[in-house]
Structure 1
């Protein structure tokens, strides 16, 4: 049985073809326990979490990468986020009709999907993900082909207890020799079964798929569920709402209470907190 909650990069020696593998267990279970998700929604959330880890691993930056979708179907909102240090979180909002749907487009209906990269320093970037394919993996492959112009193959699976993914990319500067290699490894990767990706450790899986190739595997990195919410960040959200709105809520309710959508942490702010937020000192 594979180790849970790990991400691992690999490369095919003497080529411009690289890859990455991820498998999530405990972190996926914790995120999935935040709401009574129907199987179809839970599976798509798991695929999104695996994809966010794989995609963040292709970037050299400090910050977060998030996959976000908003639709008019039974699945209203889908979000999966991974930071550069492999901290993940995610959520989905749905109605009861989601139980009957099992494909990406049927769940989301008409809507928009985007990838947002938020570096710790620098400008945020957002790219729109095409919604022409029937699967999340297919949509993300088209995103890389069109927006990043990097040929990419993605394989994503999820069940009740685990989610996993495999990514292959062909980087710029390749040679004719890489043409044959890219074709071969994609043909081999396309044979992977959900059970293999969800249960095998990376070494066993990569050997089973690519034993005729020379593959260098890098050290595995742990992946954990960790929410980035905090009292200070929540105060920042209240500041963005504005002074008048905050004091209006105080007058009506006596305090402002907010729950994190990702981890259900509860934050309560009284008049003294709001006075200090907007004036720098306590008035009452």
Structure 2
């Protein structure tokens, strides 16, 4: 299994952790577009962050991370479903990339919207200011200033692999005293801060945990599979056309030479609808091709 998340728990502290490894899914995302190295790295870190955040949630639905800025990278977007399906995309201005590599240089005045869209229940959104040195520090600061459980992130990506580590303090159980809980939390965080990028990207989970916490009692749980999958479909494309209205879609048909083509920006899949398809859609006949000719 090359793409997975894996939970771990400290037996003596009220702290849990999560590790994420993305190989095939990360490369699949990068294969869809020719991203410059700094953009590819940033997109990999956001993919790993989404998978880590998914591990902190218990819901059936979709987690969306969308970052916007006024700089060289105006958009980063990652979606992760409760089934472990990932997809992501970035928009960038090649002429502005240059030697820029840091988050602040690539995404000045940036903000990250974290949206939890459950299949049932109320939608939730949080806003993270991208004013830190890197994405991990921004996410850690967001949790530190919110009323949620203290949470720290470590993220790295190199264009081939994306890795992430999360630590989260749990409600008082094993340790009741506030000072004792704080000391344990600072202890595990301080050790995690000694990790460098090569270790996070290159070590397997068992070795990494031993490297950090060989003096502690740590339980490592079974991994959970993650994989690339785009949620686009002909049906969703058809519903998008229906939402425009028949008159506007027929105008598009005329303007585009008799065929409306919807391109998925995430996976480059194309869905074409000709005049017969459009007539069938608005007659309530469904989304299956109505004609023999496909584009």
TM-score band, normalised by the shorter chain? Answer: over 0.9
Quote the residue 1:128 is aligned against. Answer: 127
In structure 2, distance between residues paired with 1:109 and 1:170: 31
Decide which of 15, 19, 28 is 1:21's aligned counterpart: 19
- 3-state SS of paired residue (1:90): strand
- Name the structure 1 match of 2:277: 273
Deviations 1:127-168 (A, max 9, x none): 111223121011111222233422111100111211101000
Which residue number corresponds to residue 104 of structure 1?
A: 103
User: C-alpha distance in 2, partners of 1:89/1:148?
Assistant: 29
Give secondary structure in 2 for the equivalent of 1:130. strand
Number of equivalenced pairs: 282
Instruction: Report if aligned partners of 1:188, 1:209 keep a CA contact under 8 Å in 2.
Output: yes
CA positional deviation for 1:35: 1.1
**Cα deviation digits, residues 21-53 of structure 1 (max 9, x gap):** 011111111111111111110100000000000
**1:46-77 Cα deviation digits (max 9, x unpaired):** 00000000001100011111211111111011
Tell me the equivalent position of 2:206.
Answer: 203
Paired residues of 1:6 and 1:24 also in contact (CA < 8 A) = yes
> RMSD of aligned C-alpha atoms?
1.8
TM-score normalised by length of structure 1: 0.94
Unaligned runs of 5+ in 1: none
Other-structure match for 1:118: 117
Shift of residue 112 of structure 1? Answer: 2.7
Q: Which of 257, 265, 290 lines up with 1:261 in the alignment? A: 265
Confirm or deny: 8 A CA contact 1:39 1:99 kept in the other structure: no
How high is the TM-score relative to the length of structure 2? Answer: 0.90
SS at match of 2:74: strand
Post-superposition shift, 1:193? 1.2
Find the residue that maps to 1:263 and give its secondary structure: coil
1:100 is paired with a residue whose SS is: coil
Superimposed CA distance per residue, residues 229-269 of structure 1 (whole angstroms, 9 cap, x where no aligned partner): 11111112222233322111012221110111111111001
What are the ranges of 5 or more consecutive residues in structure 2 without an aligned counterpart?
A: none
Give 1:14 shift. Answer: 4.2
